[in-house]
Amino acid sequence: MNHLTLADLVDENELARLMAEYGPGQRRRVTMEVSAQSFDEWSEKLVRRANRRGEAVLAIQRPDGQLLLHTKRFYPEGIFRLPSGGVYPGESVPSGAIREAKEETGLDVTIERFLGMVEYEFQHELQRLPFVSYVFLMRAGDDRPAVQDPQEEITGFRCVTPAEIRTTAVQLRALSGAWADWGRFRALPHDLVAETLQV
């Protein structure tokens, strides 16, 4: 059993600086009961590989106000979501967000606002595993997105209105089978974006 806690992932001093610079985002804590397979997959990434201390979720807004979604080769058909990527140990959260935006979209972005964070506790039977998503509103120009890192396996982009982010969350939550836990997990930052942008 691992002993990783949210306190191991979240630097409260860094969070205070983040909120001071980019706005006092919401802070949500969620407990999720997940399957043994989901728990093992996330435990592999967080504990055994120890290559991330959370992720940045990127609400990249175009000049027309629409938000950029992406899909990957192995996603269920028709599923698009906000881009996201891991924050490395020793890397600041804003730096990780900007790096991931470039890797996944090729776009030069600026951080407009820190919308908030979702702190998760994944549970399976007696096992517990924490994770955290930092959610940012970012601005980008009219350039076409182009993946810089082929290992991401991104196969398409779509732009939607802020109001349609709610629909995206509903679609993610509706996933079933092996994708059900992932869909519930991925829906939560979309909820935060939709609610914070008041759409």
Q: Residue 177 sits in a domain of what CATH number?
A: 3.90.79.10
User: 5 vs 11, 31, 47, 130, CA distance in Å?
Assistant: 12, 13, 11, 6
Domain hosting residue 11, numbered range? 6-196
Residue 43: phi and psi, rounded to 5, are -65, -40
Which among 38, 25, 142, 145 has a CA at the least distance from the CA of 82?
A: 145
In a domain, 134, yes or no: yes
Confirm whether 38 is domain-assigned: yes
pLDDT digit string (tens) for 132-178? 999 999 999 999 999 888 888 999 999 999 999 999 999 999 999 99
In a domain, 1, yes or no: no
For 41-65, how does the pLDDT look when each residue is reduced to its tens digit (9 = 90+)? 888 877 777 788 899 999 999 999 9
H or E segment to which residue 119 belongs: strand 110-124
Domain count, the chain: 1
Residue 71 located in a structural domain: yes
